[in-house]
Protein backbone atom coordinates (compact mmCIF):
# COMPACT_ATOMS: atom_id res chain seq x y z
CA UNK A 1 0.00 0.00 0.00
CA UNK A 2 1.07 3.56 -0.71
CA UNK A 3 2.51 5.30 2.35
CA UNK A 4 1.52 8.76 3.57
CA UNK A 5 4.14 10.70 1.66
CA UNK A 6 2.21 13.85 0.71
CA UNK A 7 4.06 17.15 0.86
CA UNK A 8 7.18 19.07 -0.01
CA UNK A 9 10.60 17.43 0.18
CA UNK A 10 13.81 19.42 0.08
CA UNK A 11 16.52 18.09 -2.21
CA UNK A 12 19.16 19.21 0.24
CA UNK A 13 22.39 20.83 -0.92
CA UNK A 14 25.77 19.83 0.47
CA UNK A 15 27.32 22.76 2.33
CA UNK A 16 31.12 22.97 2.22
CA UNK A 17 33.42 24.70 4.68
CA UNK A 18 36.26 27.10 3.78
CA UNK A 19 38.57 24.15 3.05
CA UNK A 20 36.06 22.48 0.76
CA UNK A 21 35.09 19.71 3.19
CA UNK A 22 31.48 18.70 3.88
CA UNK A 23 30.04 21.06 6.49
CA UNK A 24 27.73 18.73 8.41
CA UNK A 25 26.76 21.37 10.97
CA UNK A 26 25.57 23.72 8.23
CA UNK A 27 23.53 20.91 6.64
CA UNK A 28 21.80 20.23 9.94
CA UNK A 29 21.14 23.96 10.43
CA UNK A 30 19.59 24.20 6.97
CA UNK A 31 17.45 21.14 7.55
CA UNK A 32 16.24 22.54 10.87
CA UNK A 33 15.14 25.72 9.11
CA UNK A 34 13.48 23.85 6.25
CA UNK A 35 11.58 21.63 8.68
CA UNK A 36 10.26 24.70 10.50
CA UNK A 37 9.22 26.08 7.11
CA UNK A 38 7.04 23.03 6.52
CA UNK A 39 9.18 20.43 4.75
CA UNK A 40 7.58 16.97 4.76
CA UNK A 41 10.95 15.34 4.32
CA UNK A 42 14.38 15.48 2.75
CA UNK A 43 16.04 13.96 -0.30
CA UNK A 44 19.67 13.52 0.72
CA UNK A 45 22.58 13.09 -1.65
CA UNK A 46 20.84 13.93 -4.91
CA UNK A 47 21.75 16.22 -7.79
CA UNK A 48 21.29 19.34 -5.66
CA UNK A 49 23.82 17.85 -3.24
CA UNK A 50 26.42 17.73 -6.03
CA UNK A 51 26.39 13.97 -5.48
CA UNK A 52 28.62 12.91 -8.34
CA UNK A 53 31.20 15.53 -7.34
CA UNK A 54 31.49 13.95 -3.88
CA UNK A 55 33.69 11.06 -2.85
CA UNK A 56 32.13 7.86 -1.53
CA UNK A 57 33.11 8.89 2.01
CA UNK A 58 31.60 12.36 1.60
CA UNK A 59 28.29 10.99 0.38
CA UNK A 60 28.14 8.73 3.43
CA UNK A 61 28.97 11.74 5.65
CA UNK A 62 25.90 13.57 4.34
CA UNK A 63 23.73 10.50 5.01
CA UNK A 64 25.07 10.38 8.56
CA UNK A 65 24.52 14.07 9.26
CA UNK A 66 20.94 14.00 7.98
CA UNK A 67 20.21 10.82 9.92
CA UNK A 68 20.03 12.95 13.07
CA UNK A 69 16.50 13.79 11.83
CA UNK A 70 15.46 10.15 11.83
CA UNK A 71 12.04 9.82 13.47
CA UNK A 72 11.34 13.55 13.08
CA UNK A 73 10.77 13.62 9.34
CA UNK A 74 10.90 11.39 6.28
CA UNK A 75 14.39 10.80 4.88
CA UNK A 76 15.20 9.52 1.40
CA UNK A 77 18.82 8.69 0.57
CA UNK A 78 19.90 8.91 -3.05
CA UNK A 79 22.20 5.91 -3.63
CA UNK A 80 22.57 6.01 -7.40
CA UNK A 81 26.04 5.22 -8.70
CA UNK A 82 27.82 4.14 -11.88
CA UNK A 83 28.18 0.59 -10.60
CA UNK A 84 25.66 -1.66 -8.92
CA UNK A 85 28.21 -2.58 -6.23
CA UNK A 86 28.68 1.02 -5.12
CA UNK A 87 24.95 1.75 -5.23
CA UNK A 88 24.40 -1.27 -2.96
CA UNK A 89 27.10 -0.01 -0.58
CA UNK A 90 25.33 3.34 -0.31
CA UNK A 91 21.98 1.58 0.16
CA UNK A 92 23.31 -0.57 2.99
CA UNK A 93 24.83 2.49 4.66
CA UNK A 94 21.50 4.31 4.44
CA UNK A 95 19.69 1.28 5.86
CA UNK A 96 22.18 1.07 8.76
CA UNK A 97 21.50 4.74 9.52
CA UNK A 98 17.75 4.14 9.63
CA UNK A 99 16.59 5.56 6.30
CA UNK A 100 13.20 4.14 5.33
CA UNK A 101 13.54 4.90 1.63
CA UNK A 102 16.26 4.99 -0.97
CA UNK A 103 16.33 6.39 -4.47
CA UNK A 104 18.63 5.81 -7.41
CA UNK A 105 19.35 7.28 -10.80
CA UNK A 106 19.84 4.62 -13.46
CA UNK A 107 23.49 3.89 -14.24
CA UNK A 108 24.70 6.04 -17.12
CA UNK A 109 27.63 6.64 -19.49
CA UNK A 110 27.58 3.14 -21.04
CA UNK A 111 24.77 2.03 -23.34
CA UNK A 112 23.24 -0.48 -20.96
CA UNK A 113 20.40 -2.72 -22.08
CA UNK A 114 16.94 -2.50 -20.58
CA UNK A 115 17.69 -5.76 -18.78
CA UNK A 116 20.87 -4.25 -17.33
CA UNK A 117 18.96 -1.24 -16.00
CA UNK A 118 16.18 -3.34 -14.50
CA UNK A 119 18.72 -5.71 -12.96
CA UNK A 120 20.46 -2.78 -11.30
CA UNK A 121 17.23 -1.79 -9.51
CA UNK A 122 16.30 -5.36 -8.58
CA UNK A 123 19.80 -5.90 -7.17
CA UNK A 124 19.69 -2.74 -5.05
CA UNK A 125 16.26 -3.62 -3.67
CA UNK A 126 17.23 -7.24 -3.00
CA UNK A 127 20.53 -6.40 -1.30
CA UNK A 128 19.14 -3.62 0.91
CA UNK A 129 15.69 -4.99 1.65
CA UNK A 130 14.33 -1.50 0.95
CA UNK A 131 11.96 -0.56 -1.85
CA UNK A 132 13.55 1.86 -4.29
CA UNK A 133 12.38 5.18 -5.71
CA UNK A 134 13.51 5.47 -9.33
CA UNK A 135 15.15 8.85 -9.92
CA UNK A 136 13.94 9.55 -13.45
CA UNK A 137 16.17 12.36 -14.74
CA UNK A 138 16.68 11.70 -18.47
CA UNK A 139 17.99 15.21 -19.12
CA UNK A 140 21.11 14.29 -17.13
CA UNK A 141 21.30 10.49 -17.29
CA UNK A 142 20.24 10.25 -20.97
CA UNK A 143 18.20 7.20 -19.96
CA UNK A 144 14.52 7.15 -20.90
CA UNK A 145 12.06 4.68 -19.37
CA UNK A 146 9.88 3.52 -22.24
CA UNK A 147 6.75 2.27 -20.50
CA UNK A 148 5.75 0.33 -23.59
CA UNK A 149 8.68 -1.98 -22.90
CA UNK A 150 7.53 -5.13 -21.05
CA UNK A 151 10.68 -5.29 -18.90
CA UNK A 152 10.12 -1.76 -17.65
CA UNK A 153 6.43 -2.44 -17.10
CA UNK A 154 7.36 -5.44 -14.99
CA UNK A 155 9.88 -3.38 -13.01
CA UNK A 156 7.45 -0.56 -12.20
CA UNK A 157 4.75 -2.98 -11.09
CA UNK A 158 7.13 -5.05 -8.94
CA UNK A 159 7.66 -4.89 -5.19
CA UNK A 160 11.20 -3.63 -5.85
CA UNK A 161 9.98 -0.15 -6.80
CA UNK A 162 8.19 2.11 -4.33
CA UNK A 163 7.92 5.19 -6.49
CA UNK A 164 9.33 7.59 -9.04
CA UNK A 165 11.02 10.96 -8.62
CA UNK A 166 9.93 12.37 -11.96
CA UNK A 167 12.53 14.98 -12.91
CA UNK A 168 11.34 15.17 -16.47
CA UNK A 169 9.69 18.02 -18.32
CA UNK A 170 7.42 15.43 -20.00
CA UNK A 171 4.79 15.48 -17.27
CA UNK A 172 2.56 13.25 -19.40
CA UNK A 173 4.81 10.34 -18.45
CA UNK A 174 4.13 11.04 -14.78
CA UNK A 175 0.46 10.26 -15.34
CA UNK A 176 1.42 7.16 -17.32
CA UNK A 177 3.43 5.81 -14.39
CA UNK A 178 0.29 6.08 -12.25
CA UNK A 179 -1.84 4.52 -14.95
CA UNK A 180 0.53 1.58 -15.01
CA UNK A 181 0.70 1.26 -11.22
CA UNK A 182 -1.61 3.45 -9.08
CA UNK A 183 0.30 2.36 -5.94
CA UNK A 184 3.49 4.14 -6.96
CA UNK A 185 4.59 7.14 -4.94
CA UNK A 186 5.01 9.86 -7.55
CA UNK A 187 7.16 12.87 -6.71
CA UNK A 188 7.27 15.82 -9.07
CA UNK A 189 10.99 16.45 -9.54
CA UNK A 190 11.19 19.74 -11.43
CA UNK A 191 10.34 22.76 -9.27
CA UNK A 192 9.09 24.58 -12.35
CA UNK A 193 6.41 21.93 -13.02
CA UNK A 194 4.99 21.58 -9.49
CA UNK A 195 1.49 22.79 -10.37
CA UNK A 196 1.38 20.63 -13.50
CA UNK A 197 2.63 17.63 -11.53
CA UNK A 198 -0.05 18.04 -8.90
CA UNK A 199 -2.68 18.29 -11.64
CA UNK A 200 -1.49 14.98 -13.11
CA UNK A 201 -1.47 13.02 -9.87
CA UNK A 202 1.77 13.74 -8.03
CA UNK A 203 1.06 14.07 -4.32
CA UNK A 204 4.52 15.38 -3.49
CA UNK A 205 7.39 17.38 -4.90
CA UNK A 206 11.14 17.09 -4.37
CA UNK A 207 12.95 20.28 -5.27
CA UNK A 208 16.33 21.96 -5.26
CA UNK A 209 15.16 25.56 -4.83
CA UNK A 210 13.11 24.45 -1.81
CA UNK A 211 16.40 24.83 0.10
CA UNK A 212 16.14 28.61 -0.20
CA UNK A 213 12.51 29.38 -1.10
CA UNK A 214 10.39 26.71 0.54
CA UNK A 215 7.71 29.14 1.85
CA UNK A 216 7.04 30.19 -1.75
CA UNK A 217 6.42 26.61 -2.83
CA UNK A 218 4.44 25.76 0.28
CA UNK A 219 2.11 28.63 -0.67
CA UNK A 220 1.86 27.19 -4.19
CA UNK A 221 1.15 23.69 -2.85
CA UNK A 222 -1.50 24.85 -0.38
CA UNK A 223 -3.14 27.15 -2.94
CA UNK A 224 -3.44 24.28 -5.42
CA UNK A 225 -4.87 21.91 -2.81
CA UNK A 226 -7.43 24.54 -1.81
CA UNK A 227 -8.81 24.41 -5.35
CA UNK A 228 -7.54 27.82 -6.39
CA UNK A 229 -5.82 26.63 -9.55
CA UNK A 230 -5.50 30.10 -11.05
CA UNK A 231 -3.81 31.34 -7.88
CA UNK A 232 -1.43 28.37 -7.91
CA UNK A 233 -0.58 29.09 -11.53
CA UNK A 234 0.28 32.70 -10.69
CA UNK A 235 2.59 31.55 -7.89
CA UNK A 236 4.17 28.98 -10.22
CA UNK A 237 4.75 31.75 -12.77
CA UNK A 238 6.67 33.77 -10.17
CA UNK A 239 8.66 30.69 -9.15
CA UNK A 240 9.54 30.07 -12.77
CA UNK A 241 10.78 33.63 -13.24
CA UNK A 242 13.18 32.94 -10.39
CA UNK A 243 14.12 29.51 -11.74
CA UNK A 244 14.85 30.96 -15.16
CA UNK A 245 17.22 33.51 -13.64
CA UNK A 246 18.90 30.86 -11.49
CA UNK A 247 19.40 28.49 -14.41
CA UNK A 248 20.79 31.34 -16.50
CA UNK A 249 23.64 31.86 -14.03
CA UNK A 250 23.93 28.25 -12.79
CA UNK A 251 21.37 26.59 -10.54
CA UNK A 252 23.65 25.13 -7.84
CA UNK A 253 25.83 28.27 -7.54
CA UNK A 254 22.67 30.40 -7.40
CA UNK A 255 21.12 28.33 -4.60
CA UNK A 256 24.31 28.52 -2.56
CA UNK A 257 24.53 32.28 -3.12
CA UNK A 258 20.96 32.78 -1.91
CA UNK A 259 21.54 30.56 1.12
CA UNK A 260 24.61 32.63 2.05
CA UNK A 261 22.46 35.77 1.83
CA UNK A 262 19.93 34.07 4.12
CA UNK A 263 22.56 33.31 6.75
CA UNK A 264 23.20 29.65 5.93
CA UNK A 265 26.91 28.84 5.54
CA UNK A 266 26.51 26.78 2.40
CA UNK A 267 30.01 27.49 1.12
CA UNK A 268 31.11 27.52 -2.49
CA UNK A 269 29.93 25.07 -5.15
CA UNK A 270 32.47 22.41 -6.05
CA UNK A 271 34.52 22.81 -9.24
CA UNK A 272 33.95 22.71 -12.12
CA UNK A 273 31.07 24.91 -10.90
CA UNK A 274 32.03 28.55 -10.36
CA UNK A 275 30.71 31.09 -7.88
CA UNK A 276 28.53 33.88 -9.24
CA UNK A 277 30.07 37.15 -10.35
CA UNK A 278 28.67 40.56 -9.39
CA UNK A 279 26.45 40.84 -12.49
CA UNK A 280 24.98 37.38 -11.92
CA UNK A 281 24.33 38.11 -8.25
CA UNK A 282 22.56 41.32 -9.21
CA UNK A 283 20.26 39.41 -11.59
CA UNK A 284 19.32 36.98 -8.83
CA UNK A 285 18.76 39.79 -6.34
CA UNK A 286 16.46 41.71 -8.71
CA UNK A 287 14.44 38.62 -9.59
CA UNK A 288 13.99 37.57 -5.96
CA UNK A 289 12.89 41.08 -4.99
CA UNK A 290 10.29 41.05 -7.77
CA UNK A 291 8.92 37.51 -7.55
CA UNK A 292 9.73 35.74 -4.27
CA UNK A 293 6.81 35.07 -1.91
CA UNK A 294 7.99 34.68 1.70
List, by residue number, the catalytic residues: 135, 165
- CA angle centred on 117, ends 152 and 12, rounded to 5°: 100
Say which residues have a Cβ less than 8 Å from residue 237's Cβ, sequence separation at least 6: none
Closest CA to 15 of 190, 211, 205: 211
Residues 180 and 154: their CA atoms lie apart, in Å, by 10
Residues 251 and 264: their CA atoms lie apart, in Å, by 17
DSSP 270: P
Residue 210 has φ and ψ, to the nearest 5°, of: -65, -25
Say which residues have a Cβ less than 8 Å from residue 289's Cβ, sequence separation at least 6: none
Give the three-class secondary structure for 46: coil
Residues 152 and 208: their CA atoms lie apart, in Å, by 27
What is the rounded radius of gyration, in angstroms, for the C-alpha atoms of the chain? 18
Amino acid sequence: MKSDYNGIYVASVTPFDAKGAVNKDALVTLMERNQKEGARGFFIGGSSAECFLLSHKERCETFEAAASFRGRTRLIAHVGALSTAEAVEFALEAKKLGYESIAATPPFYYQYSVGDICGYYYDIARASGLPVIVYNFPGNTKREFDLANPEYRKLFTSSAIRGVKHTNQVVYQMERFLELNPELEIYNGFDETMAAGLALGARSSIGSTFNCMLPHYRKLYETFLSGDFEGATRIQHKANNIMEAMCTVGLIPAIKYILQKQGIDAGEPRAPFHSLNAEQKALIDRTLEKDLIE
